[in-house]
Amino acid sequence: MATHRSVMVLGVAVLPLLLATGAEAAPTASYACRADTKFGRQLLSLRQGVDAKAPATVRPNARFAITVDLKPGWLPGEVKGFKLQEVRDLSLRVPIPANSSYVSSRLTGGSGLNSTPTVQLDGRVAVVKVPGPISGGASYQLPTLAVRLQAGSAGTVIETRLKGTSYDDPGLTLQAKIKWKFISITAPVACYPDPNPALTRTEVRAST
């Protein structure tokens, strides 16, 4: 069966904190992020390679899977004079696409996370949770998310996107522990994709 495949790197201009992946030739989309700290609100960047796959076409009411494969990355030990000590309680949200219904989900792989990731359904959103901690300067790989869906009616399109429309409606959240001189603070970070292109596109056809 033919597949629709998209690879993208999520990132924006860096202020005090950065999650980065290795250099690769890939389209770039932006994840706008904000950290609330005792020094005020800071804008920051998270970079994360994503390889998403789904069938190009399916029959009405057929079951199929989408996968969101998150590429390896690393945390810097220090950025802009701030020491990044660790990241905890990372949550990544992927909505269940319109014109489909949820069947099940699972995680595979992942490394350097110092915890067991979980996935759960919250309404129509699959939420991947990584308790951590992931230490500053460490390499990591988030697990691959596979979601099994049931297609809707013929003539519709099923698109996979990341969740998030604003800092108040984030698709990615985490807690970052940052040290400056002798002061350590834990800052909540909220991110949303901007822009938010479709990662996969599946057409529902009476015959495939």
Q: Which whole number is the average pLDDT over 82-102?
A: 94
Backbone angles phi, psi at 203, to 5 degrees: -90, 135
Distance CA 192, CA 110 (A): 22
The predicted model scores a pTM of 0.85
Mean pLDDT to the nearest integer, 164-179 = 93
pLDDT grade, residue 4 (50/70/90)?
A: very low
Average pLDDT, the chain: 84
Is the pLDDT at 15 greater than 80, yes or no?
A: no
Task: Report the distance separating Cα 110 and Cα 145, nearest Å.
Answer: 10
CA dist 185 and 114 (Å) reads 21
* Domains parsed from the chain with CATH numbers: 3-204 (2.60.40.2270)
> Any residues with CB less than 8 A from the CB of 186 and at least 6 apart, and which?
175, 176, 177, 178
How far is the C-alpha of 70 from the C-alpha of 52, rounded, in Å?
Answer: 8
Beta strands 100-108 and 144-151, pairing class = antiparallel
Average pLDDT over residues 178-206: 90
Backbone angles phi, psi at 136, to 5 degrees: -60, 135
Give the DSSP letter string of 145-189. Answer: EEEEEEE-STT-EEEE----SBTTB-SEEEEEEEEETTEEEEEEE
On whether the CB atoms of residues 55 and 38 are closer than 8 A, the answer is: no
User: Between 205 and 77, whose confidence is greater?
Assistant: 205
Q: How far is CA 167 from CA 41, 121, 125, 140, in A?
A: 12, 21, 17, 25
Q: Give Cβ neighbours of residue 100 (< 8 Å, ≥ 6 apart).
A: 149, 150, 151, 152, 158
Rounded distance between C-alpha atoms, residue 90 and residue 75, angstroms? 13
- Give the model's pLDDT for residue 30: 65
Share of the chain above pLDDT 90, in %: 57
Which range has the worst mean pLDDT, 8-12, 98-102, 198-202?
8-12
Interval 90-96 mean pLDDT = 95
